[in-house]
Amino acid sequence: MTYDELIPVIRRLALEAGDKIMEIYEADDFDVKAKSDASPVTEADEAADALISDGLRAAFPDMMLVTEEQAASHTQSGSTFLIVDPLDGTKEFINRRGDFTVNIALVEDGVPTRGVVYAPAKGRMFFTGADGRTVEETGALHKDTPGDLRPLSVSTPDNGALMVVASKSHRDQATDDYIGKYSVKDSKSAGSSLKFCLVATGEADLYPRLGRTMEWDTAAGHAVLAGAGGKVVRFDTHEPLTYGKDGFANPFFIAYAPGVDLKDA
């Protein structure tokens, strides 16, 4: 598998999954179930997961694949794999707030190197090219041919007036206390992996996450941010966030534009 082979496939699958998700989102009603950890799952999660995983297995049968909705894939181990969150921001989807995304990423030696984040309700598409650089695709999103591509680059932060983005559904006092250590010009909330993308576009400088996440929640956004010059580090040590961990659970982390004067926990 080469990057030139990978990128068109994951971009197309993200768009196809987005179409399936929006069919269900725009229906009068849809089924919501609770998973074993009490988190919600909808028929849109399951339909998008099946579409993406089938497409990836057909295109890259020899590549390890981890997806949120297929528990059997969580028992695999390795440091190089494809990883999928077919519908990140399920609570945003259920509440019809639009801040949900399709996420597909390639992790190599524990590092997310290529990825796509697609927000179908917002019509925003972010992905890394074969060269590893991140673009936002604008205009009509055709499945076979990319449209207008805008190269992305993180901001040059002003530590006296930072732009901060935090979780819309999971923001808590600990997060607010940490943000309070910075000189903040403005703070906004966003759902799903869009927070990584807002740092990638320069719309935000800093995204701290003091809450539970899994690798499929973050890998694609991490790749998108890295391709725009950003970084993602552990909250406790400020060392790079790595992937392929036992159980695929993440520690708390900070995503940011280099130049932000990171504060200790």
Phi, psi at 240, each rounded to 5°: -55, 140
pLDDT at 214: 95
pLDDT at 159: 98
User: How many other CB atoms sit within 10 Å of the CB of residue 142?
Assistant: 11
68 is in an annotated binding site: yes
Task: Compute the Cα dihedral for 100, 247, 53, 105 and give only its sign.
Answer: positive
Phi, psi at 248, each rounded to 5°: 60, 25
| Residue 54: band (very low, low, confident or very high) from pLDDT cuts 50, 70, 90 | very high
pLDDT at 69: 85
158 is in an annotated binding site: no
**What would the pLDDT profile of 183-213 be if each residue is shown by its tens digit?**
999 998 888 899 999 999 999 999 999 999 9
> What is the arithmetic mean of pLDDT over 72-90?
89
In which order are the strands placed within the sheet that holds 253-256? Answer: 184-190, 162-167, 206-209, 253-256, 231-234
CATH 3.30.540.10 for the 3-151 domain, yes or no: yes
Of 20-34, 66-80, 106-120, the poorest mean pLDDT is in: 20-34
The C-alpha atoms of residue 147 and residue 179 are separated, in whole angstroms, by 37
User: How many other CB atoms sit within 10 Å of the CB of residue 245?
Assistant: 15
The C-alpha atoms of residue 49 and residue 259 are separated, in whole angstroms, by 37
pLDDT at 33: 60
217 is in an annotated binding site: yes
pLDDT at 24: 86
Q: Is 157 exposed, middle or buried (0-12, 13-18, 19+ CB in 10 A)?
A: buried
45 is in an annotated binding site: no
pLDDT at 231: 98
The C-alpha atoms of residue 231 and residue 68 are separated, in whole angstroms, by 24
Q: Where are the domains of the chain?
A: 3-151, 162-256
Residue 8 predicted with pLDDT over 80: yes
Position with higher pLDDT, 215 vs 24: 215
The C-alpha atoms of residue 167 and residue 178 are separated, in whole angstroms, by 13
> What is the arithmetic mean of pLDDT over 253-264?
97
108 is in an annotated binding site: no
pLDDT at 250: 97
> What is the arithmetic mean of pLDDT over 149-162?
98
**pLDDT averaged over the chain?**
92
Please give the distance of CA 221 from its chain centroid, rounded to a whole number. 3
| Residue 32: band (very low, low, confident or very high) from pLDDT cuts 50, 70, 90 | low
What is the CATH code of the structural domain delimited by 162-256?
3.40.190.80
89 is in an annotated binding site: yes
90 is in an annotated binding site: yes
